[in-house]
Amino acid sequence: MATEIVEVQGHIIDSLILAKVLDVILDAGADYRMVDVEIGRTNVDASRARLELTAPDDDALARLLTELQVHGANRLTQTDAEVAVADMDGAFPEGFYSTTNLPTEVRLHGRWVAVENPEMDCGLIVLPDGRVRTEPMHRVRLGDGVVVGQEGVRVRPLDRPRGASPFEFMTSEVSSEKPKDLLVGEVANRLRQAKAHGGKVLAVCGPAVVHTGAAPHLARLVRAGWVDVLFAGNGFATHDIESNVVGTSLGVPLGANTAPPEGGHSNHLRVINEVRRRGSIAAAVADGWLRSGVMHDCVSLGVPFVLGGSVRDDGPLPDVYQNVVEAADAMRALLPGISVALMLASTLHAIATGNLLPAGVETYCVDINQAVVTKLADRGSHQALGIVTDVGLFLSILADHLAPPHHVDG
């Protein structure tokens, strides 16, 4: 039998942290004894619990400690972290510490050093100057200092947001049977607050944003400054460009009550071909071929975007990262400062983004398919909230809240 004492602190009752910790212990076939519990008297007081764990053997205990740290439980006694030297490029040494997306500190020479960029499923690299950064596996280089083992690493669990809210508690999901006008209004408020505090907003977009007719509403939000960074794939960008270029070339104004000209079967391919002939979306904007739409507005207003490639892509557009590892690195580079992420009818890129975000980023996943929303909202320990609704109508109403047509385009 192997034993160890762990501690959790914070709003461990109402953020369900203690319940989850007990559950992880029992599911692992281990046992616990409460050695000390202090429950906060009021809603604002933090609580604290220390538990003595008993596991069948040292291996089981080590695995359990790894699992518990995902939920914010740290060993009570901490020594300095062990740092090993990477023996090859592109892979960690055995026993590497595998990160959570929670705020993390590493103990080096008796002092706790905060990790600069929390990201899950990475390793911790100790830089020569003593700073500590997460790095994904493919970026480690021979000779890097890599934290191994569990000792000397502690995390801070995430409290759930306080106060009454139209959003559900104890579930990461808003069912389809909720007052939707209200929810959209609340998301608008959260965006306002985030911007007011200097936060950035990230929009992650799937092609259904265009198919449901919501792209003009999203473009309005971009023009009104509500989108600071945009992630998408080849499909979203292509269909956005197609609906604007083909619309324009046919002389049809894409007004609110006009159907986006349903691309003939080859339109999207011709659009991609034209952009490839020009070299980039920016070049297509510059020479006047592309005159409106979300991608156009991002280019003209300097809103940075990453288009990550996928194996189903036609073309792809020249701006698309064909190498997916490079795409993820490009996304990482744009994350600092993001405080709200809107996942808009995207599965692939939304999951990719969720993997990269630190736990504290408020994330709203909007999709009409409950299974997709569940999948997105349940990954990791994000403050993610799923909203089961029609992205077309959602963006229409959100844009009316934040960027009424006449204010923006008049």
Smallest separation (angstroms) from its own copies to the CB of 142? 12
What is the DSSP pairing of strand 173-174 with strand 338-344? unpaired
Give backbone dihedrals phi and psi of 125, rounded to 5 degrees, phi first.
Answer: -105, 125
Smallest separation (angstroms) from its own copies to the CB of 167? 11
As a whole number of angstroms, the distance between CA 396 and CA 64 comes to 47
Residues 278-307 that bind its own copies (CB under 8 A): none
Binds its own copies (CB under 8 A): choice among 2, 16, 283, 408: 16
For 342-406, the DSSP string reads: EEES-SHHHHHHHHHS-TTSEEEEEES-HHHHHHHHTSTT-EEEEEES-HHHHHHHHHHHHS-HH
Contact of 148 with 82, CB cutoff 8 Å: yes
Smallest separation (angstroms) from its own copies to the CB of 129? 26
Binds its own copies (CB under 8 A): choice among 219, 349, 357, 403: 349
The two structure tokens encoding residue 251? 């002389």
Smallest separation (angstroms) from its own copies to the CB of 268? 8
Smallest separation (angstroms) from its own copies to the CB of 290? 16
Closer CB to its own copies, residue 152 or residue 199?
152
Contact of 399 with 188, CB cutoff 8 Å: no
Contact of 242 with 268, CB cutoff 8 Å: yes
Binding residues for its own copies, how many (CB under 8 A)?
A: 111
Residues 71-110 that bind its own copies (CB under 8 A): 88, 90-92, 94, 96, 98, 100
The interface region with its own copies, picked from 24-32, 73-81, 107-115, 194-202 by CB under 8 A, is: 24-32
Binds its own copies (CB under 8 A): choice among 143, 322, 333, 409: 322
Smallest separation (angstroms) from its own copies to the CB of 284? 13
Q: Where are the beta strands (DSSP E) in 276-318?
A: 305-308
Q: Could you say whether residue 224 binds its own copies (CB under 8 A)?
A: no
Binds its own copies (CB under 8 A): choice among 257, 288, 406, 410: 257
Q: Could you say whether residue 49 binds its own copies (CB under 8 A)?
A: yes
DSSP for residue 130: S
Binds its own copies (CB under 8 A): choice among 77, 109, 128, 177: 177
As a whole number of angstroms, the distance between CA 311 and CA 321 comes to 11
- Residues in CB range of 400: below 8 A, 6 or more apart: none
Closer CB to its own copies, residue 137 or residue 224?
137
The interface region with its own copies, picked from 191-199, 281-289, 293-301, 382-390 by CB under 8 A, is: 382-390
Residues 391-410 that bind its own copies (CB under 8 A): 392-394, 396-397
Binds its own copies (CB under 8 A): choice among 108, 237, 295, 327: 327
The two structure tokens encoding residue 154? 């502690």
Give backbone dihedrals phi and psi of 362, rounded to 5 degrees, phi first.
Answer: -65, 130
Binds its own copies (CB under 8 A): choice among 84, 102, 272, 303: 272
Binding mask 132-151 for its own copies (x = CB under 8 A): ----xxx-------------
Handedness of CA 175, 176, 178, 183 (dihedral sign): positive
Residues 350-379 that bind its own copies (CB under 8 A): 351-352, 355, 368-371, 374
DSSP for residue 139: G
Smallest separation (angstroms) from its own copies to the CB of 130? 25
Handedness of CA 318, 319, 324, 330 (dihedral sign): positive
The interface region with its own copies, picked from 105-113, 126-134, 293-301, 343-351 by CB under 8 A, is: 343-351
Contact of 213 with 260, CB cutoff 8 Å: yes
The two structure tokens encoding residue 228? 């600071």
Closer CB to its own copies, residue 15 or residue 244?
15
> What torsion do the CA atoms of 44, 45, 46, 48 make, to the nearest 10 degrees?
-150
